[in-house]
Chains A and B, each alone.
Chain A
């Protein structure tokens, strides 16, 4: 499993890449692998306000449906519309082409995990 060092992680298996006020959010390699083939992604509308820990989307695979929780508060600025027609990108490239949303951040969840901490956590989930 690959957990890039520059990202922060949640215990619900999301990652966030912080670039100044901007936060890009996706799901982890572990999450995509556990879900299996993703067949559908539901994303929020641009402009929606999110709270920390709020469910903002849904990822559906052939065997399960998972809610996606926000690792920060803020306003949704962009969503990855490519996923609506090509959900398989989430499996192929969860940290790159498979990003979910971009948020103008207000506050970051203070309990996010580092790459090493998350790797431990994910290993414990198995």
Chain B
């Protein structure tokens, strides 16, 4: 069978049916001044070798985290990925980003997704997890949609310390639906609490409160307080979390969250200039039929042998069409597998150890920076691996000095929070050694 889209004979037959004599005639409605009357100005074609060299040359202009000492996070984190992860991942048996279209024949793929879902449930303290989403922003958006449907309400309260880009994604999807979004202010690095006026925002028309913890400024939020407040109005708590923090922090499920989402990139996925990453999503059993996307279930066949299936598919868009819980979901099976292998290799103890190192090293770095002249610590909230410092020196010039010494400095927060002029958000993971931290402090202080 030839995979030609259409032959000249077929084109002729189609044109005859439409009633025109040539392809050119199909475009006659476009005024001539809008038509291009010359070939596109493209360079001559290159040989494969020459093209490869040119692309290598372009790629070489990129700077990546591996070439710099990375002290930046803000949603994408440099953690160590054990070599075994990539080795297992690149096996042909697994190498696809998708769940197959004839899923049950691929038992290995389904089992991997099932194990992934189990890991996510254990980490988050939830009952059910789906097979993943594109990224954290999409997962957060899906959680908001789910909460609107589950409560039949039309308003969402989101903390101003949820990742600004996640909030932007959510705003885009919720706009078409006509849902209202209110933003909770922050103080001292945390979303407003009960003692500072949270109550006035928590009304009985709210579908959900969305809190990120650790939040965008790195601080650990009191999820239980938000859960209690919103549950009093019969709304849901959506928690957006860093899964890597859950080796040492209480699970959001224990703290009262109804839906837990986040980006799984921190589970040993490479930074890769921003993707592909991994959105995860889990909820209480009560909401399983509103959970978007694919869910793998474990069952037994008629002879009692264990097997895996895609389950609860009647919720999904290929069956339920426009009434499906979601029409924007896809999954990231390969990234989910990477996260699963990472978690399996580390185990609960390993994950806790990575968490402890992030905690210790970031706190050490903060203390070391705070003694530099002109550097202060603006917030006293507890944090995990990211923290904010305020400087009297222009942050751009600090970052420039660091960059020249091979260090990727903190994020200038004024980009997202204009009121945080001269504030830098720094991230210190288990990757940084004491020597590297000392180098940061020396260069920052102007001492090479």
Interface residues of A (CB under 8 A from B): 39-40, 42, 60-65, 67
Nearest-neighbor residue (CB-CB) of A60 within chain B: B314
Q: Decide: A60 and B323 in contact? CB cutoff 8 A.
A: no
B133 contacts A by Cβ under 8 Å: no
B368 contacts A by Cβ under 8 Å: no
Min CB–CB distance B42 → chain A (angstroms): 50
The interface residues of chain B lying within 8 Å CB-to-CB of A65 are: 314-315, 319-320, 323
The interface residues of chain A lying within 8 Å CB-to-CB of B314 are: 39, 60-65
B289 contacts A by Cβ under 8 Å: yes
Tell me, in angstroms, the Cα distance from A60 to B325 when the chains sit together: 13
Interface 1/0 per residue, B250-264 and A, CB below 8 Å: 000000000000000
Tell me, in angstroms, the Cα distance from A87 to B202 when the chains sit together: 36
Secondary structure class of chain B's binding surface, majority of residues? helix
The interface residues of chain A lying within 8 Å CB-to-CB of B319 are: 63-65
Min CB–CB distance A34 → chain B (angstroms): 14
Min CB–CB distance A28 → chain B (angstroms): 20
The interface residues of chain A lying within 8 Å CB-to-CB of B323 are: 65, 67
The interface residues of chain B lying within 8 Å CB-to-CB of A42 are: 289
Interface 1/0 per residue, B313-326 and A, CB below 8 Å: 01100011001000
For B, the interface residue count at a CB cutoff of 8 angstroms equals 6
The interface residues of chain B lying within 8 Å CB-to-CB of A67 are: 323
Interface residues of B (CB under 8 A from A): 289, 314-315, 319-320, 323
Min CB–CB distance B249 → chain A (angstroms): 34
Tell me, in angstroms, the Cα distance from A79 to B320 when the chains sit together: 24
Min CB–CB distance A65 → chain B (angstroms): 4
Q: What 9 pairs between A and B have smallest CB-CB spacing?
A: A65-B314, A60-B314, A65-B320, A64-B314, A67-B323, A64-B319, A65-B319, A40-B289, A65-B315
Please, could you name 18 A-B residue pairs with CB atoms under 8 Å apart, sorted by A?
A: A39-B314, A40-B289, A42-B289, A60-B289, A60-B314, A60-B315, A61-B314, A62-B314, A63-B314, A63-B319, A64-B314, A64-B319, A65-B314, A65-B315, A65-B319, A65-B320, A65-B323, A67-B323
Nearest-neighbor residue (CB-CB) of A44 within chain B: B152
Tell me, in angstroms, the Cα distance from A35 to B320 when the chains sit together: 13
Tell me, in angstroms, the Cα distance from A64 to B314 when the chains sit together: 6
Min CB–CB distance B373 → chain A (angstroms): 62
Tell me, in angstroms, the Cα distance from A67 to B320 when the chains sit together: 10
Tell me, in angstroms, the Cα distance from A112 to B323 when the chains sit together: 25
Min CB–CB distance A80 → chain B (angstroms): 18
Task: List 11 additional contacts besides A60-B314, A60-B315, A65-B320; criterion CB under 8 Å.
Answer: A42-B289, A61-B314, A62-B314, A63-B319, A64-B314, A64-B319, A65-B314, A65-B315, A65-B319, A65-B323, A67-B323
Min CB–CB distance B243 → chain A (angstroms): 30
Tell me, in angstroms, the Cα distance from A39 to B313 when the chains sit together: 12
Min CB–CB distance B235 → chain A (angstroms): 14
Nearest-neighbor residue (CB-CB) of B316 within chain A: A65
Min CB–CB distance A91 → chain B (angstroms): 16
The interface residues of chain B lying within 8 Å CB-to-CB of A60 are: 289, 314-315
The interface residues of chain A lying within 8 Å CB-to-CB of B320 are: 65
Min CB–CB distance A108 → chain B (angstroms): 24
Min CB–CB distance A67 → chain B (angstroms): 6
Min CB–CB distance B290 → chain A (angstroms): 10
Nearest-neighbor residue (CB-CB) of B315 within chain A: A65
The interface residues of chain A lying within 8 Å CB-to-CB of B289 are: 40, 42, 60
Min CB–CB distance A92 → chain B (angstroms): 20
Tell me, in angstroms, the Cα distance from A67 to B319 when the chains sit together: 13
The interface residues of chain A lying within 8 Å CB-to-CB of B315 are: 60, 65
The interface residues of chain B lying within 8 Å CB-to-CB of A40 are: 289
Nearest-neighbor residue (CB-CB) of B320 within chain A: A65
Tell me, in angstroms, the Cα distance from A64 to B315 when the chains sit together: 8
Tell me, in angstroms, the Cα distance from A65 to B319 when the chains sit together: 8
